Each structure stands twice: as structure tokens, then as C-alpha cells.
Amino acid sequence: MNRTPFLILETGQPVASLRRYGRFPHWIRVAAGLDADETVVVDVVKGDELPDHRDFAGVIISGSAAYVTDRADWSERSAHWLRAAAHENRPVFGICYGHQLLAHALGGEVAYNPAGRESGTIELALEPSAVDDPLFAGLPARFPAHATHLQTVLRAPEGAAILARSAQDNCHAFRWGQQAWGVQFHPEFATHHMRGYVRARAECISRHGGCARSVARGVSAAPLARQLLRRFVRQARNN
């Protein structure tokens, strides 16, 4: 069956120690249950041209070690493109940096998290608005997810529904309009990805008052969070 592909905007690379597992688009594709010929990857950092979003079933924006607040040319160009896609009701799913970039594109505020670095397998708590959300409906009120970030969405875009929070982050997921989602956590991470990030960020975790060994010991599977990428694919396909 010839299916309309999904577009993955690649906004960064994994830490060096994890690149043997491939790049972020590969991790996302596997977690989303997509075949290689069902995705098109655009490396926006390298300056790849952004195509017409109407040519794709949906758009997924990867994570990155970059900061939205740096306002890099490639990032601002991508934000402008995302704003247009969201306003035309295209299915969009932003992960970590992608979540922050989408919020920025739609008028939200991104900055360093006052609560400091959040790392490891964390507990998400769903907000009441998640009950009837197309992606989050039917999930438990609390479930684990993998996270690693310093910046966060301090203020969601006007009119957005906040879907989930954690002990350190009040906007772990939001939906804007009917089909644009951002998640601060990493649904594409498996446990080996998360442990690798904890090791790579050990010094930063320590600076923020944490213990990387304890965080690493607390890493566990997060199948419900991972499920959200497949839910997004189904939602976009059935739209």
C-alpha cells in the first residue's frame, strides 16, 4: 500500500555515546511503528529546505541539545514554518525541543526551567483536559515517561490545553487547536537511550542537586509514553 509519508524535522543529534543506535529520526520512526519508506527526514540544522507540509500525513519534530531561546536562524525558520502548518490544521507532534519550538511558534514562552534539570524516568500526571484528548484519552492518571531537559515551556500558547505535568514541569504536554501536540518527554526513548543520557549528563545532574547513579537506577520502561507516537500516527492517518 502506498501511504502518504510523515515528515520528521531533525533538529539535532543524539549525544555521541548513543549515535551507534542511529539518529533521532530512526528512534522516532521505530517507536512510531513506521517503515522507512513512510518517512521523509529534513535536517533543518544543516539548512535542508522545508517542503510543503500539505504533502505529508503529519509532522514530527525531534529533540535537540540546542536551545530555543538562542533564536538560531534554522530554528526561527522552522518555527515560522510550523506556525503555518498548525494554523492550517496539519497534524503536528513536537518532542522535547520540538515541543518547545512549537510552543514558541504559536506564541508561548520558553525559558530555563526554574526547577532545574529534569532527567530520568519521571512520573507524568494527566490534567483533566487529557480525558477527551485524541492521543491521551484512556491512559492512566499517572504513568512513567523518559525526560532530559533544562529548558521548558513556561507559558503554553494562548488557547492551548495543558495535558500533563510532572513534579518539576507544569507543561509536559499540550494540544493547540485540534491536531498540534507538544510533549516535553521523549516517547521515542527506550531504557538504553535514557540510561545513556543520564550518563552523558551526569555532571549537569550533579550541578542541579541530583545524583546520576540514583537517577540511572530509577530508569524503567515507559511503554504508555512510547505508545503516544503510534497514537499520533493513527490519528493523522484517520484524519
Active site residue 158: no
| Catalytic choice (10, 118, 127, 188) | 188
| Catalytic choice (99, 172, 186, 193) | 186
Terminal-residue alpha carbon distance, the chain = 18
Element (H, E) at 204: helix 202-207
Sheet containing 59-61, strands listed edge to edge, beginning at the edge strand earlier in sequence: 39-43, 6-10, 59-61, 92-95, 180-183, 173-176, 161-165, 118-126, 142-149
Q: Are 153 and 100 in contact (CB under 8 A)?
A: yes
| Catalytic choice (10, 96, 146, 149) | 96
Q: Strands 180-183, 173-176: parallel, antiparallel or unpaired by DSSP?
A: antiparallel
- Specify which residues 119 forms β-bridges with: 148
Buried b (16+ CB within 10 A) or exposed e, 177-203: bebbbbbbbbbbbbeebbbbbbbbbbe
Per-residue CA distances from 142 to 26, 131, 159 (Å): 28, 12, 24
Q: Strands 92-95, 59-61: parallel, antiparallel or unpaired by DSSP?
A: parallel
What is the Cα Rg of the chain in Å? Answer: 16
- Rounded CA-CA distance 165/178 in Å is 20
Active site residue 96: yes
Catalytic residues: 96, 186, 188
